[in-house]
């Protein structure tokens, strides 16, 4: 028996108490709740060991994923029946432990919450964040478009539930921006206006085609990390000559800045992963950049500048990245810029869930791709970026803000220390 009543705990508890008296002792009672604790629902049943979570994803006839959630007292026999039922329905079945958001919705929390934080700090507009996520990250829609689709008021209630069930976890603190939008009646598509206006025409212009790759010139790339290696490969493929001397380069891409650029050197662009541009090049004339990995899958690079940034460096960076077939977007200055920051938090939340035993690595990645249409799972993405790079961005964010919100998951720290990939378990 699968229950799909409205998300009200007392309603579900009353229903399960009544059903317990009607079904046979071997019947499995499954709740399709997406936000309520399965353990709390099962507490009203006469046989809580026969109660499990069977979380389908919208639209249920289309989405291939099924999340089987084990409550505190769910029996293995009931879980086995539920898994077999899901597989018979042609679903990809993943396992999750009971807790706020279970596995998939929990791991997706940073997608909207970190985007809201960026907008609240005026580092980017909602339109910019969505465009960066679509073009730079390969998401089908950005977080603000998604909030409008789901319902801004629905998202607010989910955020409040997460925060309350976690007893105030800083990573899950709701955003005042959403509360104000709801108070103004801007509830998303269903109300005709949320973060976007939904009139007769489309809510945004179509995304442009990628710039035509190819160009040429002389570029120097500093650093030995994955980004530096990917940039060297992309630059040579687009016709650029790699040079070792800064003075001979039209642009220096610094992926491992240890000190500010010396006066009189070539225009410089600094990778803003381990800090903000102001921190990495204090008082210098460089611009900052960030792109996701793998670079071959990215369609956009983010750029940032300070009042001291050289316009020549800005123009040179725009030209080089366009020659690589990448769009660019100018955003405010902070560690990781926009997508690097969102991605780091997605990877970090997945590592928290992994370390706490909420789900397995393969289930986390499959759940995010099949349940939420992410372009790749967060742990796969973390391995592509390099776990040490993700940890560096998180530590830079925590130092920048001084907040527990950006503390690194112990599992991420351990795997970096042990040189262990994130998807190895």
34 noted as active-site residue:
yes
Percent of the chain that is helix, strand, coil (3-state, to 5): 45, 15, 40
Catalytic residue among 20, 74, 105, 108: 105
Rounded CA separation 313/333 (Å): 16
CA distances (Å), origin 191, targets 148, 195, 256, 305, 306: 9, 11, 48, 38, 39
Catalytic residue among 67, 114, 302, 318: 67
Catalytic residue among 20, 34, 108, 161: 34
Report yes or no: 331 and 303 within 8 Å, Cβ to Cβ: yes
End-to-end CA distance of the chain: 33
Q: Given phi > 0 = left and psi -120 to 50 = alpha, else beta, which region is 233? A: alpha
Catalytic residue among 20, 35, 49, 55: 55
Report yes or no: 140 and 131 within 8 Å, Cβ to Cβ: no
159 noted as active-site residue:
no
Rounded CA separation 189/129 (Å): 19
348 noted as active-site residue:
no
Around 103, how many Cα atoms within 13 Å sit in the side-chain half-sphere?
A: 37
For residue 50, give the nearest of 70, 28, 83, 71 by alpha carbon: 28
323 noted as active-site residue:
no
Per-residue burial over 183-192, b if 16 or more Cβ lie within 10 Å, else e, is: eeebbbbebe
Residue listed under structure tokens 């378990």: 425
Report yes or no: 336 and 114 within 8 Å, Cβ to Cβ: no
Report yes or no: 304 and 297 within 8 Å, Cβ to Cβ: no
Catalytic residue list: 34, 55, 67, 105
């Amino acid at each position: 028996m699968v229950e799909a009543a409205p998300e009200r705990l007392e309603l579900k508890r009353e229903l399960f108490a009544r059903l317990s008296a009607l079904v046979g002792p071997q019947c499995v009672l499954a709740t399709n709740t997406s936000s309520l604790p399965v353990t709390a629902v099962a507490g009203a049943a006469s046989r809580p060991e026969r109660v499990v979570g069977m979380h389908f994803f919208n639209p249920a006839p289309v989405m291939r994923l099924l999340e089987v959630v084990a409550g505190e007292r769910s029996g293995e026999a009931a879980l086995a029946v539920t898994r077999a039922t899901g597989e018979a329905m042609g679903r990809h079945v993943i396992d999750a432990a009971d807790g706020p958001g279970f596995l998939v919705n929990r791991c997706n929390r940073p997608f909207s919450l970190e985007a809201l934080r960026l907008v609240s700090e005026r580092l980017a507009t909602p339109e910019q964040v969505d465009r960066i996520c679509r073009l730079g990250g390969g998401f089908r829609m950005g977080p603000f478009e998604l909030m409008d689709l789901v319902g801004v008021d629905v998202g607010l209630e989910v955020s409040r539930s997460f925060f309350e069930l976690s007893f105030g976890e800083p990573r899950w603190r709701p955003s005042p921006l959403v509360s104000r939008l709801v108070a103004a009646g801007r509830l998303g598509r269903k109300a005709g206006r949320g973060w976007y206006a939904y009139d007769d025409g489309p809510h945004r212009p179509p995304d442009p085609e990628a710039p035509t790759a190819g160009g040429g010139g002389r570029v120097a790339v500093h650093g030995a990390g994955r980004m530096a290696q990917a940039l060297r490969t992309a630059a040579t493929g687009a016709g650029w000559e790699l040079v070792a001397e800064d003075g001979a380069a039209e642009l220096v891409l610094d992926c491992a800045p240890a000190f500010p650029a010396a006066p009189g050197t070539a225009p410089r662009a600094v990778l803003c992963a381990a800090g903000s541009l102001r921190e990495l090049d204090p008082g210098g004339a460089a611009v900052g950049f960030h792109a996701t990995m793998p670079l071959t899958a990215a369609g956009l690079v983010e750029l940032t500048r300070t009042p001291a940034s050289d316009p020549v460096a800005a123009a040179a960076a725009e030209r080089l990245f366009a020659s690589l077939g990448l769009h660019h977007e100018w955003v405010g200055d902070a560690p990781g810029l926009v997508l690097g920051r969102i991605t780091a938090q997605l990877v970090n939340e997945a590592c928290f869930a992994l370390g706490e035993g909420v789900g397995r690595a393969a289930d986390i990645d499959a759940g995010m791709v099949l349940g939420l249409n992410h372009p790749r799972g967060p742990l796969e993405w973390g391995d592509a970026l390099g776990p040490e790079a993700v940890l560096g961005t998180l530590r830079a964010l925590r130092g920048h803000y001084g907040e527990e919100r950006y503390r690194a998951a112990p599992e991420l720290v351990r795997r970096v220390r042990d040189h262990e990939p994130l998807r190895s378990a």
